[in-house]
Amino acid sequence: MMATMNVLLLAMPDSFEHMATVAIRMPNGALTSLAGNVDAHHSVAVADLVLVQSQVRAVVERLVRERPPDVVGLSVMTFQRHTAQRLIELVRALRPGVRIVVGGYDPSLAPEAYTRPGPGAADFIVRGEGELTFRALLRALERGAGFAGIPGLTFRAGDLFVDNPARPVSGLEDGAIALPNRAARVLRGYTMVGRQVDVVETSRGCTFDCSFCSIIEMRGRNFHTYAFERVLADIRDARAHGARSIFIVDDNITLDVRRFEALCRAIVDAGLSDLEYLVQAMTSAIANHGLTLAPLMRRAGFRWVFLGIENILDEDLAFLRAGAKNRAREHGAPAGNATVRAIELLHRHGMLVVGGLIVGNPTDTRESIEANLEFARRYVDYPYIQHPTPYPRTPMTREFRARGLIVNERLDEYDGTTAVVRSEHLDAEEIEFMRWRAERWMKVRHLPRALARRPWFALRYGGKMLAHTFRGSSLRSLLGLEDERRAFARYRAIRARERTYV
């Protein structure tokens, strides 16, 4: 007999600080992908708690009451660990006997955080890609069978946890992973600057090894692609569920530029270029292939490109191991940093650039940080400036630790905009202050351009976005009548309060 199980999948409410949640609330792609790959007789609900940030407890209580779950799964990034553990505690109190499964970057890279005895411990940890492991886990639970044969799973056995061998990464090409199940979502309100947004994958993996990136530890250096028919079906499904903006969440779609170009053509041929697309890209790929790639991207509907610039100085790029992906080439020979050329090509074809920069690296000085801030002021359409954050098991974390530069171990502050490491020359707080002070004004300057295509959104929410950007600041601090450091202290206090969701 097959037993139907109620499965509740939760994405954490903790969000980044770059943009107010009135402007961006993104679905978690992992959970709908899991929901699409469990056996059809189970009933799965997916709840993105970022949609209900101010009422997390009440919503979870309601969901547990309305459809009492047999299994609850949580998708967790490192800075969300604390919230996840509070939620595990809450769910266990509401429904004793429920099985708790955790997955995603944090449980995969720091499983020990979820096996420690205590109210925040899980029953199962799915390490790495989840679809096949989670399906096998539900089958084992259903049949009352053991868990020893399920690769990628860590499971509780009495007081101990057993780590099964890792699951090899999925080859995607073979069709083993079915389409996401968006109908499983039980909350509404996804947005990207006023348009309903969804996420779509076309590939997984990356062959680079940037020292700050969690992806390589998570799955090794490899690159696998979905067939175009599947990608187009996925985009159609997202559109049928109301999406007008699509975020292509591939780790690095620009690894295979010819494929990306072909995908752009396929999107146009399939009549899907009426949607707006956002994507992450390497500067080198855009700079070196942009003459053919950028016009195709534009035709397909790409409007926003998140460029992993990381840093404009060679020494910092060497530390981040991000030199190669930011190198321009001319006639086959290296020709300096690719960033300006990439931005210029994207602008020429009417796309906007979100500039990802990382400041506060070990040898950074006031001047080197200023140089990056000045670059962002001048060239990018929206800044996404972060501090190096020592996530579990990355090479960068090892180096920061060896050099004694990590000054903050409170993981809920590992949101990218809190400086938790210092440089050899500057305190962490000073680094964060420099970024905060500069970035607010960049956002003011860039906001009109960023919102130009959405006048009604600008009218309705522009004020809220500015209020978010300037929280902590006062008229006096803006007029120079109050030390800006006091405003910064107020901003940090507000941010600290925001971090308590449950």
Instruction: Establish if 172 lies at the interface with ligand B12 (CB under 6 A).
Output: no
Region from 76-84, 183-191, 204-212, 415-423 binding ligand SF4, contact rule CB under 6 A: 204-212
Site string for ligand B12, 108-147 (x = CB under 6 A): -x----------------x--xxx--x-------------
The secondary structure of the chain in percent helix, strand, coil, rounded to multiples of 5, reads: 45, 20, 40
Closest approach, Cβ 50 to ligand B12, in A, equals 6
16 binds, among ligand SF4, ligand B12, none (CB under 5 to 8 A by kind): ligand B12
Residue 151 carries which side chain, given as an amino acid letter? P
Instruction: Establish if 249 lies at the interface with ligand B12 (CB under 6 A).
Output: yes
Instruction: Establish if 288 lies at the interface with ligand SF4 (CB under 6 A).
Output: no
Instruction: Establish if 214 lies at the interface with ligand B12 (CB under 6 A).
Output: yes
Neighbours of 463 (CB within 10 A): 11
Instruction: Establish if 440 lies at the interface with ligand SF4 (CB under 6 A).
Output: no
Question: DSSP 3-state assignment of 241?
Answer: coil
Furthest CA-CA distance within the chain:
74
Distances (CA, A) of 315 to 78, 310, 323, 360: 27, 12, 9, 12
Instruction: Establish if 439 lies at the interface with ligand B12 (CB under 6 A).
Output: no
Residue with smaller CB distance to ligand B12, 111 or 130 = 130
Distances (CA, A) of 356 to 94, 310, 501: 41, 6, 27
208 binds, among ligand B12, ligand SF4, none (CB under 5 to 8 A by kind): ligand SF4
Residues 6+ apart with CB under 8 A from 475: none
User: Are 30 and 57 a contacting pair, CB within 8 Å?
Assistant: no
Neighbours of 452 (CB within 10 A): 10
Query: How far apart are the C-alpha atoms of 481 and 121, rounded to whole Å?
Result: 50
Closest approach, Cβ 222 to ligand SF4, in A, equals 11
Query: How far apart are the C-alpha atoms of 349 and 352, rounded to whole Å?
Result: 9
Residue with smaller CB distance to ligand SF4, 216 or 232 = 216
Question: DSSP 3-state assignment of 96?
Answer: coil
From the list 47, 59, 184, 206, which residue makes contact with ligand SF4 (rule: CB under 6 A)? 206
From the list 415, 423, 431, 434, which residue makes contact with ligand B12 (rule: CB under 6 A)? 415
Closest approach, Cβ 33 to ligand B12, in A, equals 5
Instruction: Establish if 200 lies at the interface with ligand B12 (CB under 6 A).
Output: no
> What's the CA dihedral at 85, 90, 94, 99 to 10 degrees?
-10
Query: How far apart are the C-alpha atoms of 81 and 324, rounded to whole Å?
Result: 33
125: which DSSP letter? Answer: E
308 binds, among ligand B12, ligand SF4, none (CB under 5 to 8 A by kind): ligand SF4
Among residues 197, 219, 193, the alpha carbon closest in space to that of 206 is found at 219
Closest approach, Cβ 212 to ligand B12, in A, equals 7
From the list 6, 29, 266, 499, which residue makes contact with ligand B12 (rule: CB under 6 A)? 29
Residues 6+ apart with CB under 8 A from 440: 469, 470, 473
Closest approach, Cβ 332 to ligand SF4, in A, equals 21
Instruction: Establish if 45 lies at the interface with ligand SF4 (CB under 6 A).
Output: no
Neighbours of 141 (CB within 10 A): 18
Residues at the site binding ligand SF4, with contacts judged by CB under 6 A:
206, 208-210, 213, 215-216, 251-252, 282, 308, 325
Residues at the site binding ligand B12, with contacts judged by CB under 6 A:
14-16, 18, 26, 28-30, 33-34, 50, 73-75, 77-79, 101, 103-106, 109, 126, 129-131, 134, 199, 201, 213-215, 249, 251, 386, 391, 415-417
